[in-house]
Amino acid sequence: MSDRPMLHFAEMFRAGIGSACVFAFCMFCASMAWAQAPTHANIEYARVNNAPLRLDIYLPATPTSNRPLVIFVHGGGWSSGNKDVVQAGMLPLLNQGYAIASINYRLVNSTDANLYGGMSAVIFPAAVHDVKAAVRFLRANAAVYGFDPNRFGLWGGSAGSHLAAVAGLSTGNIALEGTVGDHVGTSSAVQVIVDGYGPTDILRMGPDASQAGFPGAGWDAPNTSHALLIGCGAQGMGAIRANIDNPAAPWPQCVAQANLANPVLHVDATDPPVWIGHATNDPVVPWPQSQRLYDALLAAAVPTSFVRAATGGHQLGEAQYVQARAFVAAAFAAPLLRDGFE
């Protein structure tokens, strides 16, 4: 890949709220998925500021009860995208008797800020609170839809993978559980996580991009998607990293937010199995981000597999998703066993 397309995709990831680049990024992600009509559409799972959060449910023909459920968290740079298109790599799960849910969550953009109560209501950890609220809603209603409440999974793509990883690896963390929805007493735990090319240590995206062979400055600049996510767009990750020990405002808050948003820092030995897939030539999220998470999972003895494709850009192919689905099946077949994973 030449330097020109590398810079093009880096600039796409740097896109600010509402820009044409975010739109292009969203369209790029949408091209990686297929549309399919849900069995139950636009179900309200929670309200924030009296505005609804909704999800769709896709049910297999059989079985009619005790179905494992995999919950899809869409990508879009945390500022765009929606639940309406499920990632193509997930759809064969329906033929395996699994149910799929696809959720909306609060986005870091002006539209959602106006809807849900201001920009402070949509920056991190708002989206993770929503993901956990969706898990709790679906588990509380497992009998209604025929789910097995003991076999829930999270599956994300890109920014959605980041949210899935943070939500799935932080069970019981009060700051990340939140109080969204009517089922706060229900567990938000999941039994497996699929992370497709998601960011992890967002504070170090720039150095990781350089390691992967891309110009790192674009990821460190102000108003990148990952800086906007934590409410520190004006600063940018490079400046935050340079002021990591600076006690003056706003640096401690920005560092704390970046760390809270880092799934690597939430890993412990009680976590569910995690499958990770990433392409070496991904110009949007550099592959060392996935390596960081994989290394932490290995160190904690969490069942995990990291499939690093040689090519593919900011997506994965069916060959990788075959492995992801097999990993999910193994986790659901024996959720209490920790053998048989890489």
Q: Is the pLDDT of residue 194 over 70?
A: yes
Cβ neighbours, 10 Å, residue 131:
28
Supply the pTM of this predicted model: 0.89
Band of the pLDDT at 17, cuts 50, 70, 90?
Answer: very low
Band of the pLDDT at 216, cuts 50, 70, 90?
Answer: confident
Residue 23: exposure state from Cβ atoms within 10 A (0-12, 13-18, ≥19): middle
pLDDT tens, position by position, 75-96: 999 999 999 999 999 999 999 9
Q: Is the pLDDT of residue 4 over 60?
A: no
Higher pLDDT, 335 or 186: 186
Cα angle: 22, vertex 207, 310; to 5 degrees:
75
Report the largest interatomic distance among the alpha carbons of the chain, rounded to a whole angstrom. 58
* pLDDT, position 16: 34
Q: Is the pLDDT of residue 15 over 80?
A: no
Q: Is the pLDDT of residue 258 over 70?
A: yes
HEC sequence for the chain: CCHHHHHHHHHHHCCCCCCHHHHHHHHHHHCCEECCCCCEEEEEEEEECCEEEEEEEECCCCCCCCEEEEEEECCCCCCCCCCCCEEHHHCHHHHCCCEEEEECCCCCCHHHHHHHCCHHHCCCCHHHHHHHHHHHHHHHCHHHHCEEEEEEEEEEECHHHHHHHHHHHCCCCHHHHCCCCCCCCCCCCCCEEEEECCCCCHHHHHHHHHHCCCCCHHHHCCCCHHHHHCCCCCCCHHHHHHCCCCCCCCHHHHHHHHHHCCHHHHCCCCCCCEEEEEECCCCCCCCHHHHHHHHHHHHCCCCEEEEEECCCCCCCCHHHHHHHHHHHHHHHHCCCCCCCCC
- For 227-242, letters b (16+ CB in 10 Å) and e give bbbbbbbebbbbbbbe
Q: Which residue has the tokens 């460190």?
A: 220
* pLDDT, position 36: 73
Higher pLDDT, 339 or 172: 172
Structure tokens at 52: 């609804």
Q: Is residue 258 a contact partner of residue 202, using CB atoms and an 8 Å limit?
A: yes
Q: Poorest-confidence range of 31-35, 158-162, 192-196? A: 31-35
Higher pLDDT, 34 or 20: 34
Mean pLDDT of all residues in 263-272: 98
Written as one letter, the residue type at 19 is S
Distance CA 217, CA 7 (A): 10
Cβ neighbours, 10 Å, residue 115:
18
Q: Poorest-confidence range of 3-7, 90-94, 277-281, 315-319? A: 3-7
Mean pLDDT of the chain: 89
Pairing of strands 304-309, 274-279: parallel
* pLDDT, position 35: 59
Pairing of strands 99-103, 51-58: antiparallel
Distance CA 274, CA 129 (A): 20
* pLDDT, position 335: 55
pLDDT tens, position by position, 108-146: 999 999 999 999 999 999 999 999 999 999 999 999 999
